[in-house]
Amino acid sequence: MSEPVTPTEVMIVAAARQLAGERVCFVGVGLPNVVCNLAKRTVAPGLDLVYESGVFGAAPARLPLSIGDPTLVTGSTAVTGMFELFAYYLQAGLVDVGFLGAAQIDRYGNINTTVIGDYAKPTVRLPGSGGACEIAINARKVFVIVRQARRSFVERLDFRTSPGRSGDPEHDRRRGWFGNGPSLVVTDLGIYGFDEATGEMTLRSLHPGATLEDVRAATGWEMRAAEPLGETPAPTPEELRILREELDPEGVYTGRREGDARR
Amino acid sequence: MSEPVTPTEVMIVAAARQLAGERVCFVGVGLPNVVCNLAKRTVAPGLDLVYESGVFGAAPARLPLSIGDPTLVTGSTAVTGMFELFAYYLQAGLVDVGFLGAAQIDRYGNINTTVIGDYAKPTVRLPGSGGACEIAINARKVFVIVRQARRSFVERLDFRTSPGRSGDPEHDRRRGWFGNGPSLVVTDLGIYGFDEATGEMTLRSLHPGATLEDVRAATGWEMRAAEPLGETPAPTPEELRILREELDPEGVYTGRREGDARR
Amino acid sequence: MPGKLTTMREAVAELVRDGDTVAIEGFTHLISFAAGHEIIRQRRRDLTLCRMTPDVIYDQMVGAGVARKLVFSWLGNPGVGSLHAVRRRVERADPEPLELEEYSHFGMVCRYLAGAANLPFFPLRSYYETDLPRANPLIRPLRSPYGEETVYVVPPLRPDVAIVAVQRATEAGDAQIWGLLGCQREAAFAARRVIVVCEEVVGEDVVRSDPNRTAIPGLIVDAVVHEPFGCHPSYAQGYYDRDNRFYLEWERVSRDPEALERWLEGWVHGLSSHREYLEKLGEERLRSLRPAERWSGRVHYGDYGGAAAGAFPAEGGGG
Amino acid sequence: MPGKLTTMREAVAELVRDGDTVAIEGFTHLISFAAGHEIIRQRRRDLTLCRMTPDVIYDQMVGAGVARKLVFSWLGNPGVGSLHAVRRRVERADPEPLELEEYSHFGMVCRYLAGAANLPFFPLRSYYETDLPRANPLIRPLRSPYGEETVYVVPPLRPDVAIVAVQRATEAGDAQIWGLLGCQREAAFAARRVIVVCEEVVGEDVVRSDPNRTAIPGLIVDAVVHEPFGCHPSYAQGYYDRDNRFYLEWERVSRDPEALERWLEGWVHGLSSHREYLEKLGEERLRSLRPAERWSGRVHYGDYGGAAAGAFPAEGGGG
């Protein structure tokens, strides 16, 4: 365990801890997959994982290479068509927590995973919504996990793929969705919540070694910070052991090797 | 084979012959079940039977006691949920012929299987639509099989459960349904078609022994008759053998014993 | 997930309340008569009973006075005749009126699906130029936003309780069905509370050996009741046949209110459980309903644990 | 029903035409790369390609110039990175523009379902307060006839051709799938023409031994192609694993137009069939993808031929 802890590992561990007490989690591609499986082995043993691909109650015998990995199917509790999955599980409100990634996120938790630049003529064409748009609207809680930088934490989105808060909490409640925008954002610098009065993103806790200046430098607007500001407890040796030895021995997701963390 | 031929047997045989050359038939409860299975063993060996209950390509090892009989499932080609059956098979236009029964039918092939008398306070409460309403609208051809009597062939329906023709063929074509009302009615007295110009039911062929007077006496309106009027060829010994020995040895449907032929 | 295994008496006592909207589904196949009888035995009142095909079980429940209203699409004793207890109440308000809310088969299916999917309405191509929308104003026309076309829509059906019979389930409620599927899955997902009634309680390993067979996840199940022959006189594919003799006899029983009363006394109120009902039917009759053996093949899911590669499945369908 | 068994070359030549709307579905699982390669080999043009997740196969087809337009919901190389051939055309019109029609996953699923069910639109709870309806005017709001609520609707998707890979099928096209189901069934029922590509051709007896496993009836199938390992580098549950090495390598290949050209030359145009593609991959690599054995259990359907009653199934899940 002499290997130094990477910012991505802190991000994953911090996100996993937030799943304590949650029941049903909707798992998308990439980092959330690792986060949910770490939580299941630590703070949330009873967590039921619903995979976008149609698997419920997966018992993977290896780290899934994608959310459609055959190891998620063999030995699972149920495999269902994608209509049933999105309609009966997600749209019907059975999902307690849904995870979203983001290429851009604004202060209200609105998310862009579609394009950088103009939609008709983008400078960068991103993957698009996938299930993100309906997860944002139908999951009872939405957690965002994203690496923080000025280009991702922006004042204005180039495109709104997944709705967050409107800035008017009263309006948000009236929307009648199961949730009302993301309640948590975890980055490689800190943990963020949203102010109930203004609906604005607020720094709650800094990761070990990160400073308020790092956060401000990596945010495209004046980030609010809670007082007193908490510090994220460092990953425990046990959390790191599970993450490094059981879940991601090759370091695909933990940033110890080049990999992809996009939705 | 000395046993006399019953009117119901003639009706069943006459209806079965009309399935010659048809591909996919939607099978409801009662008589149609026998008619389709007789056709499959005689004039339409390639006929695919779709059972309302969700079975496709059934290979029954005995006469099914109902359209939900387990013998329809074992050894069948496919079993599907009822949504898929009604949506992907019937509503999508895969069904060439659908059968309807009737408590009341009018000259345009509109059918009542809901109530006799006032809907709110009926003198006789009938089963209702079941799948009849959507069969009438979505099957490419609709065949009606019904015992003929003044109380069933009526001038005015007490309730319209399944739509027939409107009396305006132009309107019927504009409806944009796969079919446009029943194309055939088979009773225990004769075989009826519909006049393309007026959309009105027309006697095409009398069963052996039945007369035009019998038909008029059993019809609540002035029944039109084609000229020349055909005579329905009597059931062949082979048709009767299959019907009596293979399909309905107990005479449940053929009228040789009390049974139910309602939809 | 904790075990939810309980008795029918407990399950009904806890989960079915006076005035509830209850769906005991199953299209000919897997109709939980055991649940219906327990609801009668506990003398529930003012229930709204939902089923595509109110069958003998609802005739019994209506005759026993548990129901205020039926939501349905086909009212009869399939292949036999009428439901006379229902007809007496509808035609002559004898002994009291019975409210009806009527759809077509596809309409009912779509209502369950909309309930399961949390949709405010569901579109279908039915009801054109019929009296059904007049008889039931909840059936409404809706213009397509993509052109001239108009379809009809039905509202979601969300029962307070769905009671679904299945062949096998785990103690956690993960349930598998084969043979006719009816609307079991849609009704379960649409309901606020779910009782799974199974012919067999099996270990998780059985369910996990074939996850594509799972129709209902324990996640949405409140109680699991182990009730062998629990669907008699309906049937369970591979376990027992429909007892058609009973359906034929019912025609006679339900025609006569006193005969119906006597039947309820002798077969429901006079007994304490479905176990006793089966004892009264007799082992002989039950044995006569068992089918001969005919098993499905197996399919190969494969072990993707990164273990050494195994043999290539020669015949996916081989036993 | 006559046999429909044919070669991929014949099937594509007869059923896939220039300008067609084509759906090669399969969510990670059962993606028919063999079909995509044959379409490239036959140099089809101006296709509109539909998939929830345009995967490496569509990056190859777009790079090969067969496509005019994509209809999709998530554009990427799952777990790896980008589809660079697609991005070049979208970001820089290099070598020519590529039209995009974009939905969310659930939106695409609902489009196939509406196509399969012959519905003029399908409602879902998505798209609220996003830019997607602006980017795609076919995503429209619709007010519920049962109150204040507004949902969004998507139009039916009816491909000219759907190409669905399955584990096994009969010569008549009755196809069975297990593991991830994706939208195979919905896409097949929605399409005007259907090509089923199977890992195994089995006898009717195999399919009829487990009718609940049948996803697609031969009734809607125009051609059946037997193509073992036909989904490589995607996978077929129980038959072989996803070849992730290929997905990782593709990131490098598709970044460089010349490398992509060389790859198409060497692996598609330079070969005459999927058989040759597999020979080039080598038996060793294929063997390394085979999973260890893990079979499902069997279920008891029962023989209802009126034969003597058989043994009661002791363990419905027993092998």
What pLDDT, in 10s, does the model give residues C225-262? 999 999 999 999 999 999 999 999 999 999 999 999 99
Convert A195-234 to b/e letters by CB count within 10 Å (16 or more is b). eeeebbbbbbbbbeebeeebbeebbbeebebeeeeeebeb
Six-digit token string for D276:
């040759």
Q: Tell me phi and psi for residue B178, to 5 degrees.
A: -65, -45
Mean pLDDT of A224-242: 96
In this complex, is the C-beta atom of A249 within 8 Å of any C-beta atom belonging to chain C? no
Query: Which residues does residue D47 pair with via DSSP β-bridges, in sequence order?
Result: D67
Cβ contact C292–D300 (<8 Å): no
Closest to C277 in 3D by CA, of C79, C63, C34, C42 = C34
Task: Select the more confidently predicted residue: C151 or D307.
Answer: C151
Task: Select the more confidently predicted residue: A106 or A246.
Answer: A106
Mean pLDDT of D156-184: 98
Q: Which of D120, D292, D308 sits opposite C292 (nearest CB)?
A: D308
Q: Is the pLDDT of residue A261 over 80?
A: no
Q: ω before B249 within 30° of 0 (cis)?
A: no
- Whether B52 is catalytic is yes
Q: Which of B86, B138, B163 sits opposite C130 (nearest CB)?
A: B163
Are the CB atoms for C239 and D300 separated by under 8 Å? yes
Q: Of C28, C91, C105, which to mutate for an interface test with B (greatest number of B Cβ within 10 Å)?
A: C105
Q: Tell me phi and psi for residue C213, to 5 degrees.
A: -85, -10
Mean pLDDT of C105-114: 98
Nearest C-alpha of chain C: how many angstroms from B160?
5
Cβ contact A59–C302 (<8 Å): no
pLDDT of amino acid A256: 63
Cα distance between residue D86 and residue D260, in whole Å = 12
D314 falls in which pLDDT band (50, 70, 90)? very low
Position of tokens 């088969």? C105
H-run or E-run covering A132: helix A132-138
pLDDT more than 70, % of chain C: 95
Are the CB atoms for C74 and B128 separated by under 8 Å? yes
Cα distance between residue A150 and residue A222, in whole Å = 11
Contacts of A73 in chain C (CB under 8 A): 211, 301
Encode pLDDT of C276-286 as tens digits.
999 999 999 99
Six-digit token string for D246:
């290929």
- What CA dihedral angle connects D192, D197, D200 and D206, to 10 degrees? -10
pLDDT of amino acid D2: 53
Which residues of chain B, if any, have pLDDT below 50? 1, 258-263
Closest to A164 in 3D by CA, of D131, D150, D154, D143 = D131
Which residues of B28-107 form beta strands (DSSP E)?
48-51, 55-56, 78-79, 97-100, 104-105
Cβ contact D214–B79 (<8 Å): yes
C173 falls in which pLDDT band (50, 70, 90)? very high
Are the CB atoms for A111 and A104 separated by under 8 Å? yes
pLDDT of amino acid C1: 43
Closest to B255 in 3D by CA, of B7, B2, B17 = B7
Sequence length of chain A is 263
Contacting chains of D (3 CB pairs or more, <8 Å) are A, B, C
Global ipTM: 0.95
Cα distance between residue B212 and residue B207, in whole Å = 10
Cα distance between residue D157 and residue B86, in whole Å = 19
In this complex, is the C-beta atom of A82 within 8 Å of any C-beta atom belonging to chain C? no
C73: closest chain B residue by CA: B130
Cβ contact B129–C103 (<8 Å): yes
Cβ contact B70–C113 (<8 Å): no
Sequence length of chain B is 263
Are the CB atoms for D47 and A72 separated by under 8 Å? no
Q: Which of C90, C128, C294 sits opposite B163 (nearest CB)?
A: C128
D169: closest chain B residue by CA: B77
C150: closest chain D residue by CA: D120
Q: Is the pLDDT of residue C101 over 70?
A: yes
Q: Of A49, A77, A246, which to mutate for an interface test with C (greatest number of C Cβ within 10 Å)?
A: A77
Cα distance between residue D201 and residue D167, in whole Å = 9
Cα distance between residue C300 and residue D176, in whole Å = 12
In this complex, is the C-beta atom of B76 within 8 Å of any C-beta atom belonging to chain C? no
D87: closest chain A residue by CA: A125
Cα distance between residue A161 and residue C217, in whole Å = 31
D198: closest chain C residue by CA: C316
Cβ contact D317–C168 (<8 Å): yes
Rounded to the nearest integer, the mean pLDDT of chain C is 94
Q: Which of D1, D204, D304 sits opposite B61 (nearest CB)?
A: D304
Cα distance between residue A64 and residue A136, in whole Å = 24
Cβ contact C207–A77 (<8 Å): yes
C118: closest chain A residue by CA: A92
D220: closest chain B residue by CA: B94
Are the CB atoms for D300 and C294 separated by under 8 Å? yes
pLDDT of amino acid A255: 67
Nearest C-alpha of chain C: how many angstroms from D8?
22
pLDDT of amino acid D306: 65
Cβ contact A78–C217 (<8 Å): yes
Nearest C-alpha of chain D: how many angstroms from B143?
22
Encode pLDDT of D197-227 as tens digits.
999 999 999 999 999 999 999 999 999 999 9
Query: Which residues does residue D196 pair with via DSSP β-bridges, in sequence order?
Result: D164, D224
Cα distance between residue B215 and residue D67, in whole Å = 63
From the number of C-beta atoms within 10 Å of its C-beta (0-12, 13-18, 19+), residue D137 rates as: exposed
Rounded to the nearest integer, the mean pLDDT of chain D is 94
pLDDT of amino acid A102: 94
List helix spans (H) across chain C.
8-15, 33-41, 56-63, 84-92, 105-117, 132-135, 184-190, 204-208, 244-255, 257-264, 274-281, 283-288
Using a CB–CB cut-off of 8 Å, the residues of D that contact B are 1, 116-119, 174, 185, 189, 204, 207-209, 211-212, 214, 217-220, 301-306
Q: Is the pLDDT of residue D1 over 80?
A: no
Task: Select the more confidently predicted residue: A148 or A66.
Answer: A148
Are the CB atoms for C230 and C243 separated by under 8 Å? no
- What CA dihedral angle connects A241, A242, A247 and A250, to 10 degrees? 0
In this complex, is the C-beta atom of B118 within 8 Å of any C-beta atom belonging to chain C? no
Nearest C-alpha of chain C: how many angstroms from A206?
35
Least confident of A48-62, C110-124, D63-77: A48-62
pLDDT of amino acid A259: 39
Closest to D260 in 3D by CA, of D54, D99, D39, D56 = D56
Least confident of A165-169, C131-135, C205-209, D307-311: D307-311
Q: Of D229, D242, D312, which to mutate for an interface test with C (greatest number of C Cβ within 10 Å)?
A: D312
Size of interface C-D (CB pairs under 8 A): 223
pLDDT of amino acid A18: 96
Name the packing angle between helices D8-15 and D33-41 (round to 10°): 60
Cβ contact D118–B77 (<8 Å): no
Are the CB atoms for B72 and D198 separated by under 8 Å? no
Mean pLDDT of A196-216: 96
Rounded to the nearest integer, the mean pLDDT of chain A is 92
A2 falls in which pLDDT band (50, 70, 90)? low
pLDDT of amino acid C308: 33
DSSP, collapsed to helix, strand or coil, labels residue C57 as: helix
Cα distance between residue D24 and residue D12, in whole Å = 12
Nearest C-alpha of chain B: how many angstroms from C72?
9
Contacts of C27 in chain B (CB under 8 A): 53-54, 68, 82
- Which residues of A are catalytic, by number? 52
